[in-house]
Structure 1
Amino acid sequence: MDSEIEIGEGGRPKGRPRNVDRRIAGIAGAQHGVISLRQLIELGLSRRAVSHRVEAGRLHRVHRGVFAVGHRLLTPSGWRMAAVLACGPGAVLSHRAAGAEWAMLRWSGRDEVLVPSPRRARSGLIVRSANLPPDEVTVENDIPITTPVRTLLDLASVLAPDQLLKAVNEVHEQRRLWGAISLEAMIERHRGERGVRRLRSMLAEAGYGIPQRELEEAFSRFVAERCLPRPELQGVVRVDGRYFKGDAVWRSQRLIVELHSAGHHGTAPKITRDATRDRLLLIAGWTVVHVTWAQLHDPREVRALERDLRKLLRAPSG
């Protein structure tokens, strides 16, 4: 490694010698392998010195004013960090790029960044401007980024409803993604903005915020109004020494209904647990039916659900 001295006016050394390469490596190591031109200049390098390192293959330009150190083999997080650095002070990762960093969704398109004030376009990036309050930004994996709840708000303007619901489910299932401000409070704070109405509508349709008790009451009304056999609510079923709780259980017919306030897709671990439980119950002769809040409030779904439950319960038509 070489040491460099920052040269001041008249060609005289300015300050003490610095082991520049070691400091570059330290900064890049904390930033997923990338460093900005601004940071290089703050270390005492001239633009000419930076160009020399690029020509020598020690720095690799990945965005205007941003370089990978040593090689260009960046991780997805490295490219996202580079995108934030390319947009300058106050920039944060946002929208689908933030959703991918929070593991809410998969995204391989252009990285998306929010900046405090309008700035010139950046090649290969999607840059938007918004003046975010402090409780809507954070740092995740050393990358400045919108909070999970703020990310959901931004995703509402760019995702299809089914993709948005999956992202909301992911945040709902992972407690580590919960923040100081709730999704409901975020929606209220930004009402009238793009995407907010879509997000509010999707949450209402999926039944987010509906307590389990209210969901059970809605299903009980559905059963009573159609004169179906009454189930045992929160019944416990024993299968091969293991115990499983069902939201609604008909023991004689070996039928279980699981109720969901916001769809039943959830996260990968939850899907795996549910799949294992359903398989064991099926082998033991039980049938498990999943019913959502949305289905209980959609006339077409209600008719189909009644028809299917009558068959499973061997109940006569009303």
Structure 2
Amino acid sequence: MSDPPALGQPVRARLVDVAHAAGVSKATVSKVLNGRDLSVREETRQRVHEVAQALGYRPHAGARALAGSRTHALALLVPALANPTYVTIARGAYQRARELGYLSLLAEDFDGQQADDSFNDLVQDGRVDGLLMASARPGHPLVDTLRSSSVPHVFLNRPVEGSGRNVTMDVARSSVTALDHLHGLGHRAIGHIAGPAGIAPSDARKDAFLRHADELGLQAAPVASGDFTEEGGVCAALELLGGTPGAPPPVTALYTSSLAQAIGAMGAIRSLGLRIPEDVSVIGNDDLPIAGHLWPPLTTVAMPLYELGTAAVDALVAAVQGAPTGDIVVPTEPRLVARGSTSAPGATP
């Protein structure tokens, strides 16, 4: 139960009050009162207007102004701010948005939890000109909402098949780059720590790893999946390494899907009494400043994350201005950053 209003202050009906009384969603009330959706049944439209009148509901002046004009604001929805990958993407998006005269707003989706009503309202009620969605995954409710929405939007990093508005990187090439590096050092038993199943970039990276491992004739290329976190890296690394302290590892190198996984994997390797890189080499996907300050410094495959953010904003602003959408792949290729965590099998640095 909400707190009563302060004495002397009139109670002002809110959009949510009209929605509850009329038995419909806030989005439906907004569309009806703004005259933006003729598909709503006449019976529902009449009920919404009657309830709004009975409650004395008056739209906020700012909301009325925004309903018919550009806000010059874009919303970026990311899975988890704890993942530094999305911090870099967000920086690229924010800087490009500023250059183009837009404000970039950031919202966290906690990797698959349903977007709450407030975020849906932000998009559907015209408070932003467009949406950059980096958290798309099978079953996400906002993906279905956007299919029937006129709100300009693009999907970045995690594409939606058939949408025709995906902005992505060549993630398959990152696996090829990592494997070529490790194979060139002499490794023939290489494990891969993938992300959770169903995440498009992770699936593409894993498929490319297995395909290129077969092309190279590797004697072992096992895969274990884990969250894009340090703990996910620990659990997957222990699975690939056998988990028995003092035992020779079945693989001599690990390639991870994220930098956080690599940090966890390095901890798991040490917990088994193994050395990096003498016993097990480690290479992580994505290059961030912290990689060079680990011990040993982490070899990485640098992905064009900043460029992904800028390209997504370019595509979205073009869509806001009426240009047709299309899938875009950032042309910058993955780049190997060699450091001390990789060496020839058994080599002494």
Question: Which TM-score applies when normalising by structure 1?
Answer: 0.35
TM-score by length of 2: 0.32
Q: Which structure dedicates a bigger proportion of its chain to strand?
A: 1
Structure number with the bigger relative contact order (C-alpha 8 A, sep ≥ 6) is 2
